[in-house]
Copies of this chain bind each other. A is one copy, B any other.
Amino acid sequence: MDHTLNADSSSLPKKVTAKAGYHHGDLRTQLLNAVRLLVEEKGAENFSIAEAARKAGVSTAAPYRHFEDKPAILKAVVLDAMTRNGEEMRRVMQPFPFGSIERINALGQCYIDFARQHPGIFRLVFGFSEKHDGDEDLTACGREVFGIVIEAVANYLDLPPNHPMAAERAYMLWTFVHGHSWLIIDGKTKAQDLQIDEGVMLSAVSDGLIASLRQP
């Protein structure tokens, strides 16, 4: 029910769980866990491979048996986070009827929750995305996740999923939850003394930008 990033957790290809008691157990996974923790602790820009290795109880050279270099580790963490977020989005919309506005709202809320629960990871995924700009794997993963939103919007509006208006309105929703996520983790809502009922606002947005298209 929650976006668990800090648990013992398995890595992307879901088959690494076993083989414990090897050399280290499963260093790759534990390194990614260590990085996630560090990124939350010290911020995405202050994390170092050395410290992640220390946290995983291993020499500073060990990570290079599993990753090419530092950017490769970051990329793995980002890809992992995006995948988990996508899975969570599919999960939270399921209880609501196919084609309902509630599904759309649930997706938006899920995105915001992810940012609030893992602000460091969120910053890493988006704040530094210039670095892996153009990366094929990440782009593909992003498309897949955003595709969930497009689909939900298309279903609600009774449009074919490739209709440009579905993508357009899905993007508007994205900008909104994305902006709100940033402003929340930046503490801007507190700084501006804004008292906002997030659910109400989210509904107002999907009503104003999406539901309004149903009544011509």
Q: Which residues does A use to contact B, with CB under 8 Å?
A: 43, 45, 119, 123, 126-131, 133-134, 139, 142-143, 146, 164, 167-168, 171-172, 174-183, 185-189, 191-192, 194-196, 201, 204-205, 208-209, 212
Q: How many copies does the complex hold?
A: 2
Contact B133 A192, beta carbon cutoff 8 Å: no
Distance (whole angstroms) from the CB of A205 to the closest CB of chain B: 7
Contact A143 B191, beta carbon cutoff 8 Å: yes
Contact B209 A129, beta carbon cutoff 8 Å: no
Point out the residues of chain B lying under 8 angstroms from A185, CB to CB: 130
Contact B201 A208, beta carbon cutoff 8 Å: no
Point out the residues of chain B lying under 8 angstroms from A178, CB to CB: 178-179, 182-183
**A177→B179 CA distance, assembly (Å):** 7
